[in-house]
Structure 1
């Protein structure tokens, strides 16, 4: 991903500034759950940014909020009413990156794909400058191009924004954006399966975002498909690494398509004016470092082999052609160019990815290429390119059918436990110091206020784990309700929804409540009640819950004693297992264990 002249050799790395809310495939914890809480070690982004910098010290770092902790909105789902507070929150993340991790953040965004507020952007710029962070550029507004019109008529807003960033622009920009004279970025793009069509999408937009839209940067969402495949946008990273329990990973075509550009250019290079479309379809760009080097990237991707998930792609035709290129000026005297080549194919034929070919001779500044459909060429004066090799990854393995975690292994700290994927709320390692008994180290749901959401977050907190194909399972977990009278927790099986639609999840949920009751429901909302009764559960005491689901029936145990049996299940017959709380409230979990079997049902 990051090592120069090896693989994708990325120039820019953009991370989410965690806001405690669902942001597509899960929640990312904030560095400030509450106004008096600051912790710059939560989540994986700090670690990953440091790993990126180790490999490429020159990589540019970008932070963007998708959501915000609830306290920022003071009860409203809106972060702009108190712009100084929101700016303080974002700038504290930038300062924490430097103070605790020696990371210099180069750019920061506003609010992913949501409304922008000109006053807030100006306050953010003022706050950055006042604290000596003049070098941190603001990217706005990470939606469409609407902000460009406001920048044209508002010079103070125009001065505050360094980069105009748009998401999924379809390679097109607008006149207002160009007239600002600002750098234009496709600050989120791709979001496409990392198969051969995904590689074709990536090849086409990397070139045509500049050819058609003057965009000098294109940022892929996302980096690595390292989340459960059945969550939204499964397999849509540049590569796949979705089995941390096995270590299996798959290096996909978008990695090598990226290399065609990133291994032979750098931030600070300049696009030449002579870029454009080829006569029979496809496009070409040329860049120079103004120190004698030139890189030309050519793509001939066909329509059906380069469709991105969004936006819709108008029909066009590409056919085989000979293309002659003429190098003028200082490049007229070049004798040859290094050549790297890829051919993206259908499943019936094997692709050729990032292969070094013989150098092409240049005579009187001119050379001709025979171009076929669905090809990518890089022609360059640089000789540093490399198709980095890597050992064969471990074999793919399903999630272990018997899995347990006592949460005593706490690495990394202040983050979710391995393999748990928080879909609403934040579940963190916790050290229990108040009469813990046998439960010193636990997993705790730590939010007590609904965050400012980006998606349609659930009002319950839920974290899923396991294999989506699981049907017959037994789940056991120790639970501790911290909120008297109104608190509640659940364990669940056959969860069929995650990501933004997690609030619609169906399955089999065993709930216990601080008022001494229980219920079994077929949905996270708790509206489809299959059984209810008394349990004797009390807040601030540990209890052991067991849920067994087999075929079309379920039974449950409380502290080893039968709580209910022969509940007829409805809804999905397979899915993840889960733990959670009935609202945003403190609650703890310990000694989680699941045993599963897969059926053909």
Structure 2
């Protein structure tokens, strides 16, 4: 990157050892400009992390998108990486596949298509990256290993790229292999062949979205593999690179990084990562997991995003410090690392001190006479931090200038005069999930296939038009995954979608249910569900089950219900204090099941196995 575009100035990090008090630095492009800067990005998915964003009403949804993608406004991201949905739990929920079954294709499921289009609308030059975390069960033919059938897996991934262009006019720039799993050289080569055969020579491969090794060594020993891969991507590299990766002479990316609580300490962590990844780690791109914390905060890694938008019902969102750090990001000052940084290996020991720095511009830089100055200052004591503030322009004397740099500061100096800090009107105040909630699924939420506020944790629940029903249940919500996916996390054996407030204690949940599996089918409604995300298998709650064999179960109460498949039934579950009661079709089924744990949690719906089932007229009343 040329100084004529942007220069970041930092104390005791990029240019000298810690504890320097005064130092001179020479910036000279006579011998070239060094590594190409590929950009800063955000990752949507890797666990349904943008799930609640799509439910925001306008103008708030567009305002949020502006802060993420609009150039010269907020983060102004260069890269958007998205999960290729695989119908499986991938951290905070499931994202639907474009091919639930082998003979099924639908390129309008989920919200990643919409998000990519919105990003492109704001920044036509944004780089788009796709990566699978999981795969539908048919891809693995009942195994949990997609590389056993590399031709099928390659076909599945390439179909997603073709669908992006055919149905949404989206050009995918990079494609990954399988998130944080062992790579397979045969598959990577076959994927490259399949891309080329499909006229997608311009789509580049990133591998392996895990560690620097063994992919770096393998590339150096296998020319065909090296030719197939454009970028080596590592996750949470700890701001360092290894010699083997450098020797490949490939671009190196931190293809997933950050994963830190987005308070000011998290913003400082992000600043240090962005700076040191490029300067010390020789990485030309850094992509944040995640793009936006737009999922229920009590799920895994709540608020680990560049900004927060977790209340579509109120319209409230928060532009957190990492947004402004990204916007000012060309080079970064060191900060103490947040203890919320996940997965990352221990970062190198560091410390900083105030410094007086003098810079001497040589080569083509010597003609620069003034620089625009942008400044951020973290205040961890009084929390009066200042972000992305434009200071008076800096005049140069004979190509030189000096700066007094304090700790916990970030500076960007640039010749660009069009920079600005974007602002939208203050969003509505925060409020909890409404205590009275109803959805008959008749009013659709285009272009999305999920009903508002439901967060699928295992399985996929989609809008459905029941053409065989001429009565009141034409428009329903349907669980559609019928085979256990090729998983990334530990999906539950039962499908489940949560909704509401994790703090709810006393609540009534009502829903019409339709069992489609005649022999062994079953469905439930639930309250006080205490866990989701990667811990969904350990979730506890008050589950009201009814089965196709005419029985029911709730906590320790089991009995006859008369329920059967192919018939609509109305379930109602009331939990208050230590007791739960239930009704079936308006009549009490039991009166006082004892509930000791858990004491609070979300409402939920789900099925006994991976099976088809429908839901209608869902309602909640909480105290």
Query: TM-score w.r.t. structure 2 length?
Result: 0.88
Q: Deviations over 1:261-319 (max 9, x none)?
A: 3xxxxxxxxxxxxxxxxxxxxxxxxxxxxxxxxxxx45333325697333333432111
Q: Once the 2 structures are TM-superposed, how far is the Cα of residue 160 of structure 1 from its aligned partner?
A: 0.3
The answer to whether residue 151 in structure 2 is matched with residue 125 in structure 1 is no
Match of 1:348 among 356, 379, 382: 382
Q: Secondary structure at the match of 1:213?
A: coil
Match of 1:389 among 401, 418, 423: 423
Match of 1:469 among 483, 503, 509: 503
Q: How does 1:551-562 map to 2 (within 5 A)?
A: 551-562=577-588
Q: Tell me what 1:577 maps to.
A: 603
Distance in 2 (CA, whole Å) between partners of 1:367 and 1:154 is 49
Distance in 2 (CA, whole Å) between partners of 1:506 and 1:570 is 11
Distance in 2 (CA, whole Å) between partners of 1:314 and 1:330 is 34
Q: Deviations over 1:248-270 (max 9, x none)?
A: 00001101100113xxxxxxxxx
Native 8 Å contact 1:469 1:576 kept in 2 = yes
Distance in 1 (CA, whole Å) between partners of 2:445 and 2:571 is 26
Q: Tell me what 1:292 maps to.
A: none
Q: Tell me what 1:308 maps to.
A: 341
Runs of 4 or more, structure 1, over 6 Å off, are: none
The answer to whether residue 104 in structure 2 is matched with residue 37 in structure 1 is yes
Q: Deviations over 1:535-558 (max 9, x none)?
A: 000101000001000000001000
Range moving further from structure 2, 413-422 or 332-341: 413-422
Q: Deviations over 1:495-536 (max 9, x none)?
A: 000101111100100000100011113xxxxxxxx1101100
Native 8 Å contact 2:114 2:447 kept in 1 = no
Distance in 1 (CA, whole Å) between partners of 2:280 and 2:70 is 30
Q: Secondary structure at the match of 2:103?
A: coil
Distance in 1 (CA, whole Å) between partners of 2:97 and 2:345 is 31
Match of 1:115 among 173, 182, 185: 182
Native 8 Å contact 1:200 1:307 kept in 2 = no
The answer to whether residue 234 in structure 2 is matched with residue 166 in structure 1 is yes
Native 8 Å contact 2:440 2:618 kept in 1 = yes
Native 8 Å contact 1:414 1:428 kept in 2 = no
Native 8 Å contact 1:336 1:359 kept in 2 = yes
Q: Once the 2 structures are TM-superposed, how far is the Cα of residue 360 of structure 1 from its aligned partner?
A: 1.3
Structure 2 residues without counterparts, runs of 5 or longer: 1-67
Q: Once the 2 structures are TM-superposed, how far is the Cα of residue 323 of structure 1 from its aligned partner?
A: 1.2
Distance in 2 (CA, whole Å) between partners of 1:75 and 1:298 is 47
Q: Once the 2 structures are TM-superposed, how far is the Cα of residue 213 of structure 1 from its aligned partner?
A: 1.2
Q: Once the 2 structures are TM-superposed, how far is the Cα of residue 413 of structure 1 from its aligned partner?
A: 5.1
Q: How does 1:87-486 map to 2 (within 5 A)?
A: 87-146=154-213, 147-261=215-329, 297-304=330-337, 308-309=341-342, 310-412=344-446, 415-486=449-520
Native 8 Å contact 1:419 1:466 kept in 2 = yes
Q: Secondary structure at the match of 1:331?
A: helix
Distance in 1 (CA, whole Å) between partners of 2:348 and 2:282 is 19
Q: Once the 2 structures are TM-superposed, how far is the Cα of residue 349 of structure 1 from its aligned partner?
A: 3.6
In structure 2, relative to structure 1, the CA distance for the partners of 1:572 and 1:72 (3 Å cut) is same
Q: Tell me what 1:525 maps to.
A: none
Match of 2:550 among 507, 511, 516: 516
Q: Secondary structure at the match of 2:195?
A: helix
Distance in 2 (CA, whole Å) between partners of 1:304 and 1:51 is 33
In structure 2, relative to structure 1, the CA distance for the partners of 1:498 and 1:10 (3 Å cut) is same
Q: Secondary structure at the match of 2:202?
A: coil
Distance in 2 (CA, whole Å) between partners of 1:173 and 1:56 is 30
Native 8 Å contact 1:184 1:216 kept in 2 = yes
Match of 1:51 among 94, 112, 118: 118
Distance in 2 (CA, whole Å) between partners of 1:304 and 1:160 is 36
Native 8 Å contact 2:457 2:497 kept in 1 = yes
Distance in 2 (CA, whole Å) between partners of 1:379 and 1:413 is 42
Q: Tell me what 2:573 maps to.
A: 547
Native 8 Å contact 2:239 2:347 kept in 1 = no
Q: Secondary structure at the match of 1:299?
A: coil
Distance in 2 (CA, whole Å) between partners of 1:38 and 1:319 is 57
Query: TM-score w.r.t. structure 1 length?
Result: 0.91
Structure 1 residues without counterparts, runs of 5 or longer: 262-296, 522-529
Q: Once the 2 structures are TM-superposed, how far is the Cα of residue 236 of structure 1 from its aligned partner?
A: 1.0
Q: Secondary structure at the match of 2:271?
A: helix
Distance in 2 (CA, whole Å) between partners of 1:35 and 1:410 is 27
Q: Once the 2 structures are TM-superposed, how far is the Cα of residue 88 of structure 1 from its aligned partner?
A: 0.6
Native 8 Å contact 2:271 2:335 kept in 1 = no
Q: Deviations over 1:85-142 (max 9, x none)?
A: 1011000000000000000000000001111100000000000011110100000000
Native 8 Å contact 1:303 1:315 kept in 2 = no
CA root-mean-square deviation: 1.2
Distance in 2 (CA, whole Å) between partners of 1:333 and 1:102 is 43
